Structure 1
Amino acid sequence: MIWDTHAHLDDPGYAEDFHEIVARMQSSGISRVTNVGYDLPSSERSVKLAQDYDFIYAAIGIHPHNAEGATDETWAKLLLLAKQPKVLAWGEIGLDYYRDLSPRSIQKEVFIQQIELANDVGLPIVIHNRDAHQDVLEIVKAHRPKFGGVFHCFSGSWEMAKVLLSLGFYLSFAGPVTYKNARHTVEVAIHAPMDRILVETDSPYLTPEPRRGKRNEPTYVREIVKKLAEIKNLSFEDVASQTMRNAETIFNTR
């Protein structure tokens, strides 16, 4: 049984064959999926999916791309969503200096605000970090999440990972760990302790090898588990069961 801890099944690209995707998941041992919001509408859709399907859970939050548009009304509505029983995390939140779709000062302000909101409602956080390693580190050191957090699709160095692990964070691996040029990500996977690793697809993005170039979907999280098993010299079943236990721990579902 495998938990895809980060997907976007509300994406319009799944509209025509959603039920086929679900069937493939269920026949492949993908027993749980966390559908992750990136703005208010996607957070609302995530909660609706979680209400409609017993194996889907939700995370709610404002992605750094959408930070500039957040208002007091946004926070009020997200706080209401956070009370829903299948909302397991606040995210994805963080910083993105690659595309810079919101001013960096606003990204940082909104990131900090959401850490504080997650602390208020008792949720762990799911962090998006792209080309913003130093600022993200400084923020999570100064504004500690009281209920833990996950660095989704971890892209930093092993030196950064060691700091995050010391702060109690989990590291989540996605399609890039299977890519041929993923030297730094593989190094982190080699050294990271098994009880702090999660797996995800970030569907419909970041499709793993050997399906790279096609639309991603939760079933392909098996490729991440397979790669980690190879890196760690463990069985597929051991990686699947340990990452499931880790997800149950950080998302408080045991």
Structure 2
Amino acid sequence: MLVDSHCHLDMIAEHQDLDEVVGRARRAGVQTMVTISTTLSGWDRVKEIAENYENVWCSVGVHPHEAGPEGQSAPDKLIELAQHPRVVAIGESGLDYHYDNSPRQAQAESFRAHIVAARATGLPLIVHTREADEDTALILREGYEQGPFSCVMHCFSSGMGLAEAALDLGFYISMSGIATFKKAEEIRDVAKMVPADKLLVETDAPYLAPVPRRGKPNEPSYVSYTADSLCETLGLERAELERRTTDNFFRLFSRAARPAEAA
């Protein structure tokens, strides 16, 4: 069994039949998925998908790209929406300096509000970061000093320094299809140093399809390709990689029920 710990089923549904997408995932052994919130204005659709599919869960949060128009200066709304029983995480939030679609100050303010919401709810924080390693590490460290919280660095594409900073705080690191890319040796090096109990896998679908599907729309069933690549990188049998990442997921996303328990 595999878990796609981060996908965007609401975005996939704009172009594909979601019943077919979820069906393909389950036939590929992907029995649990988390569909991720990027805006509060679109959260009802994310929530609806999680309500309509068994073993699909969701998060609530505002992506750093949306921090200008929708960034949260306080955690209250996030905490309120997180009471829904299908919500298993806060986010995705963080910093993205590659595109700078929102002012950096707004990104940081919203990021800090998400950290407070994660601490208040006891739900893990999902962090997006791109070309902002130093500031991301600083905000996470400052937030943790104010009180512990759990966290996953999703779709990890940063440097070893941020990986070490996150692991020092006890956070998890999730590998996406990027780990299958030919030139992603640094990401594979990070994967090798992640402790066995801190590793997750994801697709970030519909983005970042793994080799051999690169260049096509991604979907949760393709997490299997990332799992195969990590097995090669880490020298693991597929069954062991599945066991590790699945156990890690349900330890971190503790509100999510394992499929047998959810029946």
What TM-score do you get using the length of structure 1 for normalisation? 0.94
Cα shift at 1:89: 0.5
State the one-letter code of the partner of 1:20: E
Partner SS state of residue 90, structure 2: strand
Unaligned runs of 5+ in 2: 258-263
Q: Measured at CA, do residues 16 and 228 of structure 1 come closer, stay the same or move farther in structure 2, by a change above 3 Å?
A: closer
The answer on whether the counterparts of 2:74 and 2:110 sit within 8 Å (CA) in structure 1 is no
The one of 169, 172, 175 equivalent to 2:174 is: 172
Aligned twin of 2:183: 181
Q: Percent identity?
A: 38
Where does 1:25-174 land on structure 2 (aligned, <5 Å)? Answer: 25-70=25-70, 77-144=77-144, 146-174=148-176
Where does 1:212-251 land on structure 2 (aligned, <5 Å)? Answer: 212-251=214-253
Partner SS state of residue 102, structure 1: coil
Q: Deviation per CA, 1:15-35: give whole Å up to 9, x if none.
A: 542111111111111000000
* Aligned-CA RMSD value: 1.8
Distance 1:214 1:34 in 2: 21
Distance 1:225 1:176 in 2: 12
Distance 2:73 2:194 in 1: 40
- Misfit runs of 4+, over 4 Å: 12-15, 71-77
What TM-score do you get using the length of structure 2 for normalisation? 0.91
Cα shift at 1:155: 1.4
Distance 2:171 2:83 in 1: 23
Partner SS state of residue 141, structure 1: helix
Cα shift at 1:122: 1.9
Cα shift at 1:75: 5.8
Distance 1:82 1:118 in 2: 9
Q: Measured at CA, do residues 222 and 43 of structure 1 come closer, stay the same or move farther in structure 2, by a change above 3 Å?
A: same
How many residue pairs end up in the alignment?
254
Partner SS state of residue 221, structure 1: helix
| Residues 8-17 or 72-81, more deviating | 72-81
The answer on whether the counterparts of 1:178 and 1:209 sit within 8 Å (CA) in structure 2 is yes
Where does 1:197-208 land on structure 2 (aligned, <5 Å)? Answer: 197-208=199-210
Cα shift at 1:148: 0.5
Unaligned runs of 5+ in 1: none
